[in-house]
Amino acid sequence: MTHADGCTGEVRMWSRKTDPTPGRHPAIWLLRRAWLPTLIVSALTPHAHAAAAAVDPAASGGADPVTFDAALFPAGNTVNIDLSRFEKQGYVPPGTYYGDVTVNEAWRAHTNIVLVSTPDGKATQPCYDASTLTRYGIDLRKVATDADHPARKAMPEGTFCGDIGDYIPGASAQFDPGDQSLSLSIPQIYMSRDARGYVDPSQWDEGINAALLNYNSNLYRGGMNGSARAAGYLGLNGSLKFGSWHFYHLGSLNASQGMGTHYQTTSNYAQHDIPAWQTQLVVGDTFTPGDMFDSVRLRGVRMYTDSQMLPQSLRGYAPIIHGTAETNAHVVVRQNGYIIYDTTVAPGPFVIDDLYPTGYGGDLDVEITEADGRVRYFSQAYSAVPQLLRPGQQLWSVAAGRVDQRGLSARLPVIGQFSYQRGLSNLLTAYAGTTVGADYHSVLGGMAFNTSAGAVSSDVTYAGNRTPGLSATSGFSYRLGYSRNFADTGTSFNVAAYRYSTPGFVGLNDAMTLRVAAALGNENVVLRPHSRMDVNLNQSLSDNWGQLYLNASWRDYWNSKGRQVDFSAGYSNRWKSVSYSISIQRTRDTVDQLFQGPVLVDRIPGALDGYLNSASGHTVRDTRIMLNVTIPLGRAANSPTLTSYVNHSNLNGDNTQVALNGSLGEQRRFTYNASLSHNTATSVSLGGQYAGAHGSLTSSMSYGSGYRQAGVGASGSVVAHVGGITFSAPAGDTVGLVYAPGAEGALVDTAVNSRVDSNGYAVVPSLMPYQLNTIAIDPKGAADNVELKDTTRNVAPRLGSVVRLRYEVDTSRLLLVDATLPNGDPIPFGAEVLDDKGNSVGVAGQASRLVIRGVEHSSTLTVRWGAEENQSCSLNVVVPTATASGRNDPTPILQAACKAVGGSATTLLQAH
């Protein structure tokens, strides 16, 4: 660590290393305070930056120093002010700093930044190496082969220091001493074509060793007609982070009156990512994917492609746009009239391959505006179904293990499954898979197409199954999917799927259930699908006339005359601040004679337990009509809303409900609800929830004819780490652990009201894995003397990690002194305050107020505004005694007169 010493009036700034505790010159603190008048900005020359007291001395190309016009600063009539120490030269000392690196305003790394002195010793410049610049997205091959703009110097091997513009034509660098960040500006021609949102895998943070527990609890008590029932639940989702391995446990503790208490384990597994392959490895309890075959739970191992490791602009399906520009052209891509992409391209062929996926598509309109004003247009078809991938992308999954479905008590077979998808072009994606196990095997192959008439997927599956005690079966299943978004009419025909199976076809999930059912003598409980169709339609009406939707599903079975038909339609709209909707739902279920003998439904999930009491050939029909109206009762953020709900059902009669919902507090942490319902009788319900920094609390109660109910619940997270235990709201599995010692009470995450605790820690829930997350701290709520030297951190965590984010905090004493010169004139603006060791501890602000930090004990200070002997004065400071807590105490404002250096009088400052 290095710092400047020796010269009176020199500004000191300590550099940061990996775990630093630097200081900051009080002038920087003063110039960054929000209440400082704009006078400072107006005093800067055109070369100055308003955000800091000096231009970065590490700027390349020999930029002119910042200068101040002293005539614009009030300094009385008897003194001349010297502001040269705030200028560029010597302001940032050489050393190793730890901060953010940005390239063309895009974040690239949080790393060590080395500054060395220039040959003349008047400034500093950063150091680089070729491999690091490549990781920052700079294509050094383009630099080396650019004959039109040769570099002034050849880039050496290893580390080199100096002006980046000597090695990359047109490049520059600036170091911000306030944020301790390095900003590189590189001509776009020398940049690699990284997708939007790309974060180099070398910057993915595996986090620290820690334990994380998410919990959700509920206590319930109800009674009807004199009988009471009580139950309790505690759900646990725990994980242990050890290096890049993560070990998970999911389970729940259940207790009920008359049934006792028991703990149920849902799953145990270990997870490790493999960034080089963009894959995840899971060992233990896992699930096979459900996009091609039935999803079943396995106790074994699975490895699969994780699309979360791709930038968000490369996830999902979006076509690649190819075009040609004749000049430096402006390219705009629109979808449904909205601009979704805007860029400038060089002459020649261009490719746009990082469009964000937009639902189920909508054709893309491409506009190319040449430099001379000519405009060309063309259209790119864009419709999507889940199977479609971008050209060149691939997804695969390999799983092997014993099937371990909940509720199926029989010993199930070991299986292996493989699936693969690859985007072959804008128009075509191919996919295939196979499942192999004892007495069961299946093979699938299919294609997905993106056409101007819509997106289509089609596949065929062959499956063979042998269930002990039953005849072997085999057969085929055919599936067709279609999706289309009609932008002109506002129609979205999102999904239409049709599936047809031959009599011998049995899916993987049904095959496993059939084994248990056959062992119980109830093999017919498993319905074998014959055909199925699902249709979803959404229609936007013009001129703010609202929206319509239609959902329909139809299915029947080989081993039953029964069939299911579900239909729903609805309309929604707004009138001023009132929103309303009306919907109708029609269901029709017909059940044949399926069940012979007792069936344990809880041991056979999905066995259509709703039909168990149905008679042979009995048809159950129901029609529901629902009307919902929501009215806000005021315009303030916390104003409650009144909701009226009416529901008519052929089977269950009429139900009417009126509900009031609202929130309280500046951050709306407390929400409440109350409702009055009437069906065959009238009932009242009340509820509330508080979302606190350390967790959430809920409560509810209801009262009706013959019954009463009450319940309470709590949810949150606990993080155990080397620094102690930190509590938070529910945090998910990838979290940030802020460490800002001394900043107790500072706000970290507004969404969950996360604040720094007394140990200096706070939890930031639900970070996006493998993507850039920016975490900012707001000092509001911390003690008055707390200064955050850096308020933001950027991090790209690996999945399931707990990443530690350290923020530098200065908690030294802050004093405000209203001082005057011995003759009563104001202290010159910008004058420096030095302690008895010559260290700079403050600066004179506007209206002759001194801002002093770091003076903890009574002492003599020197105020200096120039190099001459008569350009300084001294004063004695009696520091007020701090309170026991020291937190949120008002900053003392002291009154004083500065005495001439060498005088005999002593002036004590008295608290104002």
Residue of 507 and 516 predicted with greater confidence: 507
- Do the beta carbons of residue 482 and residue 455 sit within 8 Å? yes
Helix (H) or strand (E) holding 140: helix 140-144
Mean pLDDT of 2-27: 33
Confidence of residue 71 (pLDDT cuts 50, 70, 90): low
Distances (CA, A) of 331 to 344, 363, 390, 632: 6, 16, 21, 44
Confidence of residue 316 (pLDDT cuts 50, 70, 90): low
Helix (H) or strand (E) holding 338: strand 338-345
Q: Is 530 left (phi over 0), alpha (psi -120 to 50) or beta?
A: alpha
Each residue's pLDDT tens digit, 396-414: 999 999 988 766 666 788 9
Each residue's pLDDT tens digit, 758-781: 899 999 998 989 988 888 888 888
Min mean pLDDT across 204-218, 343-357, 606-620, 863-877 is at 606-620
The confidence score (pLDDT) of residue 683 equals 83
Residue of 86 and 462 predicted with greater confidence: 462
Each residue's pLDDT tens digit, 153-181: 888 888 889 899 999 988 899 998 877 88
With residues binned 3-state (H G I as helix, E B as strand, rest as coil), the percentages for the chain, rounded to 5, are 10, 50, 40
Confidence of residue 317 (pLDDT cuts 50, 70, 90): low
Spell out the long-range contacts of 610-613 with Cβ–Cβ below 8 A and sequence spacing 24 or more.
Answer: 611/562
> Which among 100, 107, 183 is positioned nearest to 771, based on CA atoms?
107
CA 329 to chain centre: 34
Each residue's pLDDT tens digit, 664-703: 877 788 888 888 888 777 888 888 899 888 888 988 888 8
Confidence of residue 631 (pLDDT cuts 50, 70, 90): very high
The answer to whether residue 245 scores a pLDDT higher than 90 is yes
Residue 740 backbone dihedrals phi, psi, to 5 degrees = -130, 80
The confidence score (pLDDT) of residue 149 equals 83
The answer to whether residue 596 scores a pLDDT higher than 50 is no
Min mean pLDDT across 267-281, 351-365, 456-470, 642-656 is at 351-365
Min mean pLDDT across 123-132, 378-387, 614-623 is at 614-623
Confidence of residue 853 (pLDDT cuts 50, 70, 90): confident
| pLDDT above 70: percentage of residues in the chain | 79
The answer to whether residue 597 scores a pLDDT higher than 70 is no
| pLDDT above 90: percentage of residues in the chain | 16
Residue 444 backbone dihedrals phi, psi, to 5 degrees = -130, 145
Burial of 535 (0-12, 13-18, 19+ CB in 10 A): middle
The confidence score (pLDDT) of residue 177 equals 80
Mean pLDDT of 588-598: 47
Spell out the long-range contacts of 250-253 with Cβ–Cβ below 8 A and sequence spacing 24 or more.
Answer: none
The confidence score (pLDDT) of residue 447 equals 94
* Domains of the chain, each with CATH number or no CATH: 95-192 (3.10.20.410), 207-277+656-810 (2.60.40.2610), 320-380 (2.60.40.3110), 814-900 (2.60.40.2070)
Confidence of residue 428 (pLDDT cuts 50, 70, 90): very high
The answer to whether residue 9 scores a pLDDT higher than 70 is no
DSSP state of 219: E
Cα–Cα distance, 640 to 659 (Å, whole number): 10
CA 21 to chain centre: 29
* DSSP three-state, residue 414: strand
Each residue's pLDDT tens digit, 81-98: 655 555 554 457 788 888
Confidence of residue 902 (pLDDT cuts 50, 70, 90): low
Each residue's pLDDT tens digit, 705-736: 877 888 888 999 999 999 999 999 888 889 99
The confidence score (pLDDT) of residue 673 equals 86
Please write down the HEC assignment for all residues of 27-87.
HHHHHHCCCCCCHHHHCECCCCCCCCCCCCCCCCCCCCCCCECHHHCCCCCCCCCCCHHHC
Helices (H), strands (E): how many in the chain? 5, 56
The confidence score (pLDDT) of residue 363 equals 60
Burial of 694 (0-12, 13-18, 19+ CB in 10 A): middle
Min mean pLDDT across 13-27, 96-110, 145-159, 809-823 is at 13-27
Residue of 35 and 807 predicted with greater confidence: 807
Min mean pLDDT across 209-213, 225-229, 392-396, 462-466 is at 225-229
The answer to whether residue 2 scores a pLDDT higher than 50 is no
- Do the beta carbons of residue 832 and residue 85 sit within 8 Å? yes
The confidence score (pLDDT) of residue 446 equals 94
Each residue's pLDDT tens digit, 730-758: 888 899 999 999 888 888 876 677 889 98
Cα–Cα distance, 716 to 730 (Å, whole number): 4
DSSP-derived secondary structure for 613-680? TPPTTEEEEEEEEEEEEEEES-SSTT--EEEEEEEEETTTEEEEEEEEEEEESTT--EEEEEEEEESS
The confidence score (pLDDT) of residue 383 equals 58
Question: What is the pTM (predicted TM-score) of this model?
Answer: 0.72
Highest mean pLDDT among 173-187, 460-474, 606-620, 643-657: 460-474
The answer to whether residue 445 scores a pLDDT higher than 90 is yes
Residue of 273 and 57 predicted with greater confidence: 273
Cα–Cα distance, 750 to 729 (Å, whole number): 12
The answer to whether residue 373 scores a pLDDT higher than 80 is no
Cα–Cα distance, 768 to 785 (Å, whole number): 33
Residue of 573 and 551 predicted with greater confidence: 573
The answer to whether residue 262 scores a pLDDT higher than 90 is no
Helix (H) or strand (E) holding 514: helix 508-519
The confidence score (pLDDT) of residue 356 equals 65
The confidence score (pLDDT) of residue 496 equals 65
Cα–Cα distance, 248 to 285 (Å, whole number): 10
Mean pLDDT of 468-492: 83
Q: What is the mean pLDDT of the chain?
A: 77
Residue of 330 and 607 predicted with greater confidence: 330
Distances (CA, A) of 80 to 10, 641, 693, 827: 18, 64, 52, 11
The DSSP bridge partners found for residue 352 are: 321
CA 674 to chain centre: 33
